[in-house]
Structure 1
């Protein structure tokens, strides 16, 4: 069975292959290694292999890992749903938040981000599939929420995030991802800080990259299935 280093390298090779296939610039897509529920020993192996960006879904677990490593060369991305009563821990410890879906959360993160910290890099989560089970704003709500977020001094709006629908219908996947790319293009015309589309996981990474994703989130393909 391949070890974490081998699986990490394989994931990176896949990203580079799909970049080339989609006529994207090399290294235009960044890998976020989703390390939720995984022990620090596994993350250490990935760090040793060169990985620097990690995604966590759970606040307390994520904060413990950020604190454990205490390494400024690492970038920590909060990619799970965020409750307002846990926003302070995220504001104080993470570098990125991918899941802004309402003004209240953005406001709290802005207020709770340390004055001497770099601004928190944030993405608006979009429910592109319209599924009730998914978090995120509707596509029609993106621009109004963005307008509010950019007024906050301790946040920097970087773009959009979505979780693709689980389906074997490639046309549906491509249509939704294409709409996300169009939304990002609209945002870019308004705000100079916007440059990021966090979209695509192991199952739909090719379609995400083909439709303009700049960050893909890969977990089990690197660290193995969650226990």
Structure 2
């Protein structure tokens, strides 16, 4: 990676951080209530290093083995960097052990089997290393699209009830990937559905404080609706090359 590309990543993070702060002010949100999560899937170590140099500490990965490789690299070479790793992709049952052993947050829990496996395998990994509970978000399919992961609204509360009983998981909130639409009103309406659902969940579980929603194309609507964590990839790192994942 060239020095110019590194400086572009740093500039992008600075600009996004400023846009988030301005949106917080515009929509009467608390200052610094919205966290920037850098979605680093398919991106090389050098790109993450540039982001870290710009002050970015939280990274989201969609592919398990790629994410684990990055986590292990930074643990070995940047042990004092205090990075936070979020798994944000669909979860296959045969990959839960690697997720449980390596990630701090999981955004995409959408069924009881996955929650139970993450809990049990986090417990097993604690025997070899000190592990805090995984911070968990329930993924909700707000658009009802068959191609998207996520539970439906009716199943959220049963899944939340289970997660709340599991000692190695901490229920923190909800995540969604709404339908890809371009008009602002439709974006906002989709996000407001999740905000209302989070309020219901928070009434039952006071520790619920997180809404992971909003990406490069709909960040403003997500922040207006109440997002506390926006997942941004392209606007930080540029277009992805999926042949390199």
TM-score range, shorter chain: over 0.9
What are the ranges of 5 or more consecutive residues in structure 2 without an aligned counterpart? none
The answer to whether the aligner puts 1:103 opposite 2:150 as a matched pair is no
Structure 1: runs of 5 or more not aligned: none
C-alpha distance in structure 2 between counterparts of 1:193 and 1:182, whole Å = 16
Number of the residue aligned with 1:75: 84
| Partner of residue 189 from structure 1, selected from 190, 203, 224 | 203
Asked if 1:86 corresponds to 2:95, the answer is yes
1:172 is displaced (CA, Å) by: 2.2
Deviations 1:46-78 (A, max 9, x none): 111110000000000000000000136000000
1:170 Cα offset (Å): 2.5
Higher helix share: 2
Say if 2:156 is the partner of 1:142.
Answer: yes
Q: Please state how far the C-alpha of 1:167 moved relative to its aligned partner.
A: 1.0
2:48 corresponds to 1:66: no
SS at match of 1:121: strand
1:164 deviation in Å?
2.1
Matches within 5 A, 1:22-41: 22-41=27-46
Please give the residue correspondences for 1:1-227 in structure 2 after superposition, counting only pairs within 5 Å: 3-70=8-75, 71=79, 73-113=82-122, 114-115=125-126, 116-227=130-241
Q: Per-residue CA shift, 1:125-171, capped at 9, x if unaligned?
A: 00001111110011121111100111100000000000121112333
* Structure-1 separation of matches of 2:117 and 2:40: 25
Question: In angstroms, what is the RMSD of aligned CA positions?
Answer: 1.1
Tell me, in whole angstroms, the C-alpha distance in 2 between the residues paired with 1:140 and 1:210. 25
